């Protein structure tokens, strides 16, 4: 899994009694395939690219690695619904894909998520596991059997109904996001020193974030401060963010838990306080991400564009 993600990524792995192995990201802002292959051992079971901020990893390269070593390719597409890679929706390229529909995502049902797969066994396991391990055979819930242990991860009927309605709005949301994104990007690309996150060939973002690089970490910090001082909201400097980058995950690095973690997990975890993630640091330290909102008026987009240009240019 990548060093840039949400804490839920490693939480879900630890909840299964498995061991998350973190590796560097590249200029896609997600998994570096070379770092992934270098980290594979005989105990590796799965590779999990996280399509952060609306775009994808080098999926062809990761798929080739998974085929070479007989591993599961699990796409975390929680921040990228509607994005595509070589004509396929993100989340559908690997063996499984997962999505989040909480209130800050592209489409929302308040809280909840989804798993997709074309593997019948994986689908059955997901169906049973999220509902106490029940097999869902017949119409008498009390008579259902438990093929294995599960937990209560069910989405409610009300949340699901809202989610279905939101799905019908996705295409329109993506169109608006793309329009606003394009306006901002066209303006920022005229600034000498600003470059953009790499989108792998054949991929199309969902345009939920505009992700750009400054030449140095120092300039990125100054630009982020200038954006805030110029009234530009929803610009994120992930390098110092406690939710999304390993620098803020002190609880994971030191394995702080209310209960005892299994010895198999503790004994096989990386020493994350001393692991070299300098390649990730070199990317994240220069990255700023601007959220793309669909509620902006034409004037608000224009005003934001000018404010962002002026703020960034002021530090370069």
Token reading at 229: 């001082």
What local confidence, expressed as pLDDT, does residue 27 receive? 98
Token reading at 307: 């404010």
What local confidence, expressed as pLDDT, does residue 241 receive? 92
SS3 of residue 143 by DSSP? helix
What local confidence, expressed as pLDDT, does residue 206 receive? 98
Instruction: State the average pLDDT for the chain.
Output: 97
Q: Name the band, by pLDDT with cuts 50, 70 and 90, for residue 181.
A: very high
Token reading at 72: 């599961």
Cα–Cα separations (whole angstroms), residue 118 to 65, 81, 92, 188, 296: 20, 18, 8, 40, 38
- Concerning whether 105 is annotated as a catalytic residue, the answer is yes
Torsion angle of alpha carbons 287, 306, 56, 165, nearest 10°?
130
Q: What is the mean pLDDT of residues 180-202?
A: 98
Q: What is the mean pLDDT of residues 232-259?
A: 96
Name which of 44, 105, 36 is nearest 70 in CA terms.
Answer: 44
- For 25-46, b/e burial (b = at least 16 CB within 10 A) is bbbbbbbbbebbbeebeeebeb
What local confidence, expressed as pLDDT, does residue 178 receive? 98
Q: Name the band, by pLDDT with cuts 50, 70 and 90, for residue 245.
A: very high
What local confidence, expressed as pLDDT, does residue 57 receive? 95
Q: What is the mean pLDDT of residues 8-28?
A: 96
The dihedrals phi and psi of 67, each to the nearest 5 degrees, come to -70, -40
Q: Name the band, by pLDDT with cuts 50, 70 and 90, for residue 41.
A: very high
Q: What is the mean pLDDT of residues 90-115?
A: 95
Residue 147 · residue 121 · CB < 8 Å: no
Per annotation, catalytic residue among 105, 124, 222, 293: 105
Q: What is the pLDDT of residues 147-170, one digit of tens each?
A: 999 999 999 999 999 999 999 999
Q: What is the pLDDT of residues 251-299, one digit of tens each?
A: 999 999 999 999 999 999 999 999 999 999 999 999 999 999 999 999 9
């Amino acid at each position: 899994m990548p060093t840039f993600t949400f804490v839920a990524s490693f939480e879900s792995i630890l909840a299964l009694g498995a061991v998350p192995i973190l590796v560097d990201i590249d200029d896609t802002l997600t998994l570096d395939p070379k770092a992934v292959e270098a980290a594979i051992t005989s105990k590796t079971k799965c590779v999990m690219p996280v399509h952060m901020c609306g775009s994808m990893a080098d999926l062809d390269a990761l798929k080739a690695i998974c085929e070479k070593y007989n591993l599961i390719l699990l796409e975390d597409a929680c921040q990228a619904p509607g994005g595509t890679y070589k004509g396929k929706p993100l989340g559908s390229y690997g063996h499984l894909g997962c999505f989040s529909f909480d209130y800050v995502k592209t489409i929302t049902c308040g809280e909840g998520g989804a798993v997709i797969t074309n593997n019948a066994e994986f689908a059955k396991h997901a169906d049973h596991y999220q509902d106490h391990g029940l097999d869902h055979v017949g119409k008498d819930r009390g008579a259902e059997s438990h093929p294995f242990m599960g937990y209560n991860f069910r989405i409610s009927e009300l949340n699901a109904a809202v989610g279905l309605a939101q799905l019908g709005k996705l295409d329109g949301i993506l169109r608006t996001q793309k329009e606003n994104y394009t306006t901002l990007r066209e303006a920022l690309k005229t600034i000498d020193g600003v470059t953009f996150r790499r989108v792998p060939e054949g991929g199309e973002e969902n345009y939920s974030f505009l992700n750009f690089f400054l030449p140095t970490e120092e300039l990125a910090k100054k630009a982020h401060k200038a954006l805030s001082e110029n009234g530009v909201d929803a610009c994120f400097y992930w390098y110092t963010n406690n939710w999304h980058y390993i620098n803020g995950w002190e609880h994971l690095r030191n394995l702080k838990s209310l209960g005892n973690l299994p010895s198999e997990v503790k004994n096989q975890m990386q020493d994350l306080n001393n692991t070299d993630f300098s390649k990730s640091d070199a990317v994240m330290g220069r990255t700023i991400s601007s959220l793309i909102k669909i509620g902006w008026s034409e004037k608000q987009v224009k005003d934001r564009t000018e404010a962002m240009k002026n703020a960034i240019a002021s530090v370069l």
